[in-house]
Structure 1
């Protein structure tokens, strides 16, 4: 690995750490406001902080703005759907479980690359998907007699598809434009879409007094989780392949569970711990190079 690859991996690791600890802020932030209002407020903070950075550094806009604007719209759409489902799901499940179920995108990503990039799915990927679903079942379903997922778990699981798509579109756009400008635009889109939904679905609670009463978690999630972490992801993916990026970002689940345990006094059963461990093993297993065993076999001949 060259220095740029190490730099990219470090940026992604820091992003995963910030996101994992931010689940605590995301839970606390919805004591008085709804998920769309929270996302609108946090994204406005991100827009202001990133806008200030771009002005301070005197960033130059590209001559052809169309590609950058298109990237901002596409990335903004994926992050809007993903964060909305995540925030809604958090109302019904724990921060630790949300972190692990969200990280299921690492198993979804190979399928999306097969569909959109025409990549074939190897045997190891199929095995990792099966292992992952077993772990997800143990994590999200309380007992063998209960074959229905918790509503929050299922909503968060749907959001993991959006996060997989988000990684793909970032991989495509971030290598061709300024990643900070791209991050700025995606949060402009997120703030607008979340604001519209807040006015429609959360009209009674989306008040300035309620928003200001939640200013601490909003500021943390807006500045660190949104403004800083998503920009770190943009920068990191310039130098890291999508599958490697998804593996590093999946560490968010570990940090989320740890933060929920230390800061929110959340308790996970032995069954849920086992499920979390199996899901994480599946994440790692899915990244094993498919020719690894072939090389070892050839070496033994």
Structure 2
């Protein structure tokens, strides 16, 4: 059952790239993200007491715990807000399938960035990096041997999402995950609101025209998707959970093909296969000799 829940989460997140692409027909990137994160935070508000009752837990309300929760939520929200902005701009200039696969590189980048805080990656990680870089070349390189603007932006968002994951890794053992996510959504919405007011001219008519993709990205991708992830990962090996969640990149390609009628040539498909292979290799359980080193 937990595996099915995580696969459903991956489907929701994969299809979200379609919502982001369609939403750009009516809204600027900052406005779209402000709306989706605000909705995501509002959706999680009633989920917090519900999950408390289901798990029969009493949250720590001490001043130290509140400070830790607030610090973690703010840092996560800042990272998420900037990462989502880069992704949203990138989706405007690339296809849904490319955006999904390049974003999924965060799974490879997390252990690499972890070296900066003293976490040496296992030897197999270097093989996954080689596969991912080769796949990125086949998927994104143009005739002039350069990455397109959209691909570069999404690649940048992938690095930022890796930073976001590492921040969550730091604070999630210390605070309640749903509360942390709720705070980060409101902070990310505030970050996006600043850009919206400075660079865009949002109108109510544009928001109403994009109501469907905004609601999907806000309610399902942000609010429901995160809640399903929390429920699905309970009692499951985190490596297996990450592997299942990485299927979002596959579902993003299928969503772009089915809903937006986007196509990919053989070279791009080969690039996707190599990137996905690198992602899978990075998530394989470490050998006993590697874990004991």
- Scaled by the length of structure 1, what TM-score is found? 0.86
Q: Are 2:36 and 1:38 equivalent residues in the alignment?
A: no
1:102 is aligned to 103
2:14 is aligned to 20
Note if contact 2:82-2:191 (Cα within 8 Å) is conserved in structure 1. no
Q: Secondary structure at the match of 2:220?
A: helix
* Cα distance in 2, alignment partners of residues 238 and 62 from structure 1: 20
> C-alpha displacement at 1:79, in angstroms?
1.0
> C-alpha displacement at 1:25, in angstroms?
0.8
Aligned length: 283
1:140 is aligned to 140
Note if contact 1:13-1:248 (Cα within 8 Å) is conserved in structure 2. yes
> C-alpha displacement at 1:236, in angstroms?
5.1
Q: Which moved more, 1:127-136 or 1:51-60?
A: 51-60
Note if contact 2:72-2:171 (Cα within 8 Å) is conserved in structure 1. yes
Q: Are 2:206 and 1:210 equivalent residues in the alignment?
A: yes
> C-alpha displacement at 1:169, in angstroms?
2.1
Question: Residues 199 and 242 (structure 1 numbering): CA distance in 2 closer, same or farther, change over 3 Å?
Answer: farther
Note if contact 1:89-1:152 (Cα within 8 Å) is conserved in structure 2. yes
Q: Are 2:270 and 1:269 equivalent residues in the alignment?
A: no
Q: Are 2:68 and 1:74 equivalent residues in the alignment?
A: no
> C-alpha displacement at 1:233, in angstroms?
3.5
Q: Secondary structure at the match of 1:91?
A: helix
The equivalences for 1:144-293 within 5 A come to 146-202=144-200, 204=201, 206-234=202-230, 244-291=240-287
> C-alpha displacement at 1:264, in angstroms?
0.3
Note if contact 1:183-1:234 (Cα within 8 Å) is conserved in structure 2. no
2:122 is aligned to 122
* Cα distance in 1, alignment partners of residues 186 and 21 from structure 2: 23
1:299 is aligned to none
* Cα distance in 1, alignment partners of residues 159 and 237 from structure 2: 18
* Cα distance in 1, alignment partners of residues 47 and 165 from structure 2: 24
* Cα distance in 1, alignment partners of residues 239 and 111 from structure 2: 8
> C-alpha displacement at 1:54, in angstroms?
3.5
Q: Secondary structure at the match of 1:147?
A: coil
* Cα distance in 2, alignment partners of residues 50 and 79 from structure 1: 16
* Cα distance in 2, alignment partners of residues 32 and 231 from structure 1: 28
* Cα distance in 1, alignment partners of residues 269 and 90 from structure 2: 20
1:126-150 per-position Cα deviation (integer Å, ceiling 9, x unaligned): 121111101000001134xx21101
Structure 1 outlier segments of 4+, above 4 Å: 55-61, 234-245
Q: Which moved more, 1:225-234 or 1:33-42?
A: 225-234
- Scaled by the length of structure 2, what TM-score is found? 0.88
> C-alpha displacement at 1:273, in angstroms?
0.4
1:298 is aligned to none
* Cα distance in 2, alignment partners of residues 77 and 12 from structure 1: 26
Question: Residues 235 and 142 (structure 1 numbering): CA distance in 2 closer, same or farther, change over 3 Å?
Answer: same
